[in-house]
Chains A and B, each alone.
Chain A
Amino acid sequence: MKRHAGLYISLIILLAIGTGFFIYPQGFGAQTIPWRLGLDLIGGAHLVYQVDLSKVPASDQGSVVAGLRDVIEKRVNLYGASEPQVYTAQSGGNTQLIVELAGIKNLSDAINQIGTTPLLDFRDVEQNGSSTTFIPTNLTGQYVTGAQLIFNPTTGAPEVSVNFNSDGAKIFKEMTTADIGKPIGIFLDNQLIEAPTVQQVIPDGKAVISGGNMTVDSARSLVQRFNAGALPAPITLVNQQTISSTLGSDSLNKVIIAGVIGAILVILFMLSYYGLLGVFAAFALLIYIILTLGIFKVIPITMSLAGIAGFILTIGMAVDANILIFERIKEERKRGLPYSSAVSEGFRRAWPSIRDSNTSTIITAIILYYFTSSFVRGFALTLLIGTIVSLFSAITTTRLFLYVFLKDKNKKSVATQNLK
């Protein structure tokens, strides 16, 4: 590394300049890959729904949850959220559906619409004398691919035609085969809307719902709700967090200003305490900041407020390794070693401490990432990546700077004086 130090450091500087254009908000990278900002910075809603799977057999739960996710995603897209995130999570044996909406003007409308999705299911009817019981079946709204408003050819009454996908068609065929001559209960949101009697086996996955008091308007709204997607399992909103875009952009501005001030303070401290060595540390820190932001953008990591705070902390920690090395170099110089050996010795001897001391932070960040929820995860991830990149930056960038710019030829150089 020592021999080609000049080449390596030029490459790192070029990389940093290139990355600088890439990460700058109005730079070349902005059009192709914009920064991904968290809900707490652009405003939006983080909604956690509890999925009730008590009526779903264990073997079907996976597909029901996946279907639910797709349906909610379709619904959310109708309300113009930018890049909505819909994902499922397990929490203490419960299945949860998490919906993240960013940049929606009317959040409460969207939340209402997600909640009021129709829940369709077909039930077997069992009659014991005068009492009627309905037994839930596997045929639910998750198999519905679409619905149309039609009019009964004889009576002219509005009806809703529902199409099932191939799995749903198969179940429906079996059901109608078994129940010929018997009624089937059609339930919407757990309300019986009608119980038509099966006249013949229906093999093509088409069902017609016609209620006694169905109007054109109610049929049309039902069709719209079906086409947006019916929920295969009921959900309840258990956790909601919404942040206005004004609060979000205010937080973003403040945290960026704080980060810039923090970085300037650290650089000023390094310059005033370590002199010429501090100049190298300052440049290494700038390169660290640029490259780490570049990595965040490439992966890409969603930058939340906590995430940016985690990154700003690493700015304060990135120079730690430099401090440990510089103090060592000072000691080696006091023992009378020439610069080149003092630098090599300094790095060699400081390395175990640097490695050991950063490992505890890395352990903390990894555990936080795997055992916490989304907002904390952003912090853990930036802290982890920042700490790892800072290790690289301290031992590579700073060392290359020292190899290239600190030479022994003139032992009474300015650099030597500054180190005293």
Chain B
Amino acid sequence: MLNIIGHKKIWFTISGTLIVLAIFAIIFYGFKESAEFKGGTLLEFSAIADHPSLSDIQNIFVNDLKINDAQVTLDNSTQTFIVRFDSIDEATHQKVDNQIKNAYPSFSELSFESVGPSVGASLRQKSLIAILLVILGISLYIAYAFRKASWPVSSWKYGFVTLFTLFHDVIIPTGVLVILGHYMGVEVDSNIVVALLVVMGFSVHDTIVVFDRIRENLLLDHGKSAFSSVVNSSVNQTMARSINTSLTLILVLLALYFAGPASLHFFVLILLIGVTTGIYSSIFIASPILTLLVPKERAK
């Protein structure tokens, strides 16, 4: 049996460092919002036969079309260009397409999205409401799920630790997200918001399985053993299922990441990081924190 509770300082140090780094990254880098939220245009196209360079396209936008804020990126593996700029109307869209097509006849528009600033703002507001409601819904559910608590842990302690673990599992992928945003231009769109919300659901999933076992063992034990040893054996008993249930999810996520379409890459990546963090926290964080909340004389 692994002594997980005994080494809790190690796990707390690891998680504490990661959480602090994530919070600093969020404060310093901030979120890079996609056109979907702040309004703007995203044009994706290819011109394979003409293979224009990045600066060729940049020139068309800045010099010919006078769209100075255009940010052009080129995906070398698929030879597709992605250009981001302010929101435009349909007439300007036609002008942009024609201009590129004149210069590069093999131009083929793959996708085009233009969002007015007001629509973006309302979508952002909707996402924020969804985030708050998911947190509220999950908190209420946790309170309900742990309403029957057993000595020596009162139900609010299970609930508090479950919520803290949820925070842990969401803040770490969010930190990775803002770092990716800063260095690779990954933007927060509604897919990313969904990924973070789904991570919340999964985080609770794993924590509940361990806590259910702790409650059951506490009832069977009748207070004979030390609290921390009951917790430690519970974690060990459920470790295989904690890992396996998430591992099956990780297997499909890896398949989606490597074989799935490019537009899902970052959505899947955030889920992968969140689910992996979730495995770690359900074993090494949730239960050790629970032992901290039990008064010393009972813990011994």
Contact = CB atoms under 8 A, between A and B. Distances in A.
Interface of A: 48, 50, 91-92, 94, 108, 111-112, 115, 237-244, 246-247, 250-251, 254-255, 257-259, 261-263, 265-266, 269-270, 273, 305-306, 309, 312-313, 315-317, 319-320, 323-324, 327, 331, 352-353, 356-361, 363-368, 371-373, 375-376, 379-380, 383
A305 B109 contact: no
Interface stretch (B9-17, B61-69, B246-254, B284-292): B246-254
B99 interface: no
A331 B241 CA distance: 12
Contact of B244 (A91, A273, A359, A365): A273
Interface centre among A115, A251, A364 (most CB of B within 10 A): A364
A221 B245 CA distance: 65
Nearest to B212: A353
Contacts of A375: 190-191
Contact of B248 (A244, A250, A319, A361): A319
Given A94-B118, A265-B251, A270-B248, 16 more contacts: A94-B122, A108-B94, A112-B90, A238-B119, A243-B110, A244-B111, A254-B259, A269-B251, A309-B260, A323-B248, A356-B212, A368-B197, A371-B133, A372-B126, A372-B194, A376-B191
A359 B141 contact: yes
A365 B137 CA distance: 11
A48 B119 contact: yes
Contacts of B133: 367, 371
Interface in B220-272: 237-238, 240-241, 244-245, 247-256, 258-261, 263-264, 267-268, 271
B116 A238 contact: yes
Interface of A is mostly: helix
Interface string B199-211: 0111011101100
Contacts of B25: none
Contacts of A358: 205
B191 A315 contact: no
B76 to A, nearest CB: 17
Contacts of A368: 130, 134, 194, 197
B112 interface: yes
A97 to B, nearest CB: 13
Nearest to A244: B110
A364 B114 contact: no
A263 B134 contact: no
A305 B264 contact: yes
B190 A316 contact: no
A266 B126 contact: no
A378 to B, nearest CB: 11
A273 B244 CA distance: 9
B241 A324 contact: yes
Contacts of A312: 252, 255-256
A296 to B, nearest CB: 17
A270 B261 CA distance: 26
B92 to A, nearest CB: 11
**Contact residues on B (Cβ < 8 Å of other chain), bracket:** 35 or more
16 contacts: A238-B119, A243-B111, A244-B111, A261-B255, A262-B256, A266-B248, A266-B251, A305-B263, A306-B194, A315-B252, A353-B209, A360-B204, A361-B201, A364-B134, A376-B191, A383-B198
Given A48-B119, A324-B245, A371-B130, A360 B111 contact: no
Contacts of B252: 259, 262-263, 265-266, 312-313, 315-316
Interface centre among A306, A324, A359 (most CB of B within 10 A): A359
B209 A357 contact: yes
The 8 closest A-B pairs by CB, nearest first: A262-B252, A262-B255, A316-B249, A316-B252, A238-B116, A258-B260, A360-B204, A364-B201
A305 B268 CA distance: 13
Contacts, number: 209
Interface of B is mostly: helix
A372 B127 contact: yes
A240 B251 contact: no
A259 B89 CA distance: 38
Contact of A241 (B97, B109, B113, B249): B113
A380 B134 CA distance: 13
Given A257-B259, A258-B255, A309-B260, A367 B108 contact: no
B249 A317 contact: yes
Contacts of A356: 145, 208, 212
A411 to B, nearest CB: 25
B21 to A, nearest CB: 26
Contacts of B212: 352-353, 356
Contacts of A259: 252, 255-256
Interface in B126-176: 126-127, 129-130, 133-134, 137-138, 141, 145
A241 B36 CA distance: 10
A364 B200 contact: yes
Given A357-B208, A371-B129, A375-B190, A237 B90 contact: yes
B5 interface: no
A283 to B, nearest CB: 16
Contact of A240 (B113, B118, B250): B113
A240 B90 contact: yes
Contacts of A331: 237
A35 to B, nearest CB: 17
Contacts of B32: none
B182 interface: no
Contacts of B113: 240-242
Interface centre among B116, B137, B250, B256 (most CB of A within 10 A): B256
A372 B252 CA distance: 25
